[in-house]
Amino acid sequence: MKFSFKNDYSEGCHPKILEALLRYNLDQQAGYGEDEYSLKAKKIIKEKLNNKDASIYFVSGGTQANLIVISSVLRPYQCVISASTGHILNNETGAIEATGHKILNVETEDGKLKPSDIQPVLDNHKNIPHQVMPKLVYISNSTELGTIYSKEELQNLSEFCRLNNLYLFMDGARLGHALTSEINDLNLENLGKLTDVFYLGGTKNGALIGEAIIINNQLLQEDFAFNIKQKGALLAKGRLLGIQFLELMKDDLYFDLAKHANQQAMKIKNVLLERGVQFLSETFTNQIFPILNHKLIDVLSEKFQFYVWKDVNEDYSAVRLITSWNTSDEAVSDFIKIIDHHL
């Protein structure tokens, strides 16, 4: 059986979550997220945010979180600004457009947006009322290219959005990996102050399913629950999500799992760097994009699954390797052995 470096949701869930689901299985609880486990998990998240006024909602997946947040925040004539690599643009089957909202994409080298990237979009949408109105900036942390935002970058972006009456929404499907990166200087409390909405991704970091939407802007909190219900995301047995986030958050298991994934990726990255391999982007998270010759890619493909991400020339392609909370030392060691033998 091949070991998968294709994505960070190939695994099931962390054993502590399965144990908790079994332990609490016969407890009778209120439905629709009013169970004691969901309420406890939300309390812990608010404490980590240092924001008792945040609103928190658990949903099953990232596309669902993006769709519900964006469709509830925007008026029918408003649109989203995203990097061209953004998940909502490339990997969600037009979910955002299906709600009637246009996505304005911006080409970036590293998957991140800067104020200087957004200003031209605003300048080109002043033909009122004949063009859509840019209203929300969508970013990912970590990005689809494995890069992360620094505190200074996010502060600049947040200030720009507020000065230009834009909402800032952070896709946190891989937020754990961003916040435990060796070069990261952000924390949850910063995100609570610098974004209007963000979410903590559980699906790609140890949960069976689940994302925690966190609404910091109180103007956006009103009636949000109606949007959850209307889009089919309000689980009757909300405990399924609450128990998982309670286990992930109460002893910082969430961050321990993400840190492990990052460390496993960095082991592979450092070996490749030592052998002169170049990378498509400079990353310090659980996603790396080494540029390898096709012969080596074929050899590695015999034992490992991964995506050939982008052809560089006739002889080389960038591949995407993603490690997870459960990536073993053995898998990393076997990968490195093949690298050692062929480079």
Total-model pTM: 0.96
Residue 53 has pLDDT above 80, yes or no: yes
Helix, strand or coil, per DSSP, at residue 109: coil
The overall average pLDDT reported for the chain is 97
pLDDT score, position 304: 97
pLDDT score, position 249: 97
Q: How confident is the model at residue 118 (pLDDT cuts 50, 70, 90)?
A: very high
DSSP string across 53-100: T-EEEEES-HHHHHHHHHHHHS-TTEEEEEETT-HHHHSSTTHHHHTT
| High-pLDDT (> 90) share of the chain, % | 98
Tell me what the mean pLDDT of segment 308-321 comes to.
95
Do the beta carbons of residue 139 and residue 83 sit within 8 Å?
A: yes
pLDDT score, position 195: 98
Q: How confident is the model at residue 140 (pLDDT cuts 50, 70, 90)?
A: very high
pLDDT score, position 343: 85
3-state secondary structure 256-297: HHHHHHHHHHHHHHHHHHHCCCCECCCCCCCEECEEEEHHHH
Distance of CA 46 to the CA centre of its chain: 19
The residue written with tokens 């560089």 in the block is 312
| High-pLDDT (> 70) share of the chain, % | 100
Helix, strand or coil, per DSSP, at residue 106: strand
Q: How confident is the model at residue 338 (pLDDT cuts 50, 70, 90)?
A: very high
Among residues 40, 128, 147, 29, the alpha carbon closest in space to that of 85 is found at 147
pLDDT score, position 152: 98
- For 89-111, the pLDDT digits (tens) are 999 999 999 999 999 999 998 99
Q: How confident is the model at residue 224 (pLDDT cuts 50, 70, 90)?
A: very high
231-245: string of b/e by CB count within 10 Å (b at 16+)?
Answer: eebbbeebbbbbbbb
Q: What gap in Å lies between CA 96 and CA 68, rounded to an integer?
A: 9
- Phi, psi (rounded to 5 degrees) for 103: -110, 125
Tell me what the mean pLDDT of segment 161-172 comes to.
98
For residue 276, give the amino acid letter: G
pLDDT score, position 317: 97
Q: What gap in Å lies between CA 319 and CA 5, rounded to an integer?
A: 10
Residue 199 has pLDDT above 90, yes or no: yes
| Partners of residue 292 on adjacent β-strands | 317
Q: Cβ contacts of residue 238 below 8 Å, gap of 6+?
A: 31, 32, 33, 34, 35, 38, 58
Bond prior to 129 in cis (omega within 30° of 0): yes
Rg (CA), the chain: 21
DSSP string across 201-252: E-TTTT-SS-EEEEE--GGGTTTHHHHHHHTT---TTTHHHHHHHHHHHHTS
- For 260-292, the pLDDT digits (tens) are 999 999 999 999 999 999 999 999 999 999 999
Do the beta carbons of residue 331 and residue 31 sit within 8 Å?
A: no
Q: How confident is the model at residue 10 (pLDDT cuts 50, 70, 90)?
A: confident
Tell me what the mean pLDDT of segment 64-84 comes to.
97
Among residues 113, 260, 245, the alpha carbon closest in space to that of 180 is found at 260
pLDDT score, position 1: 77
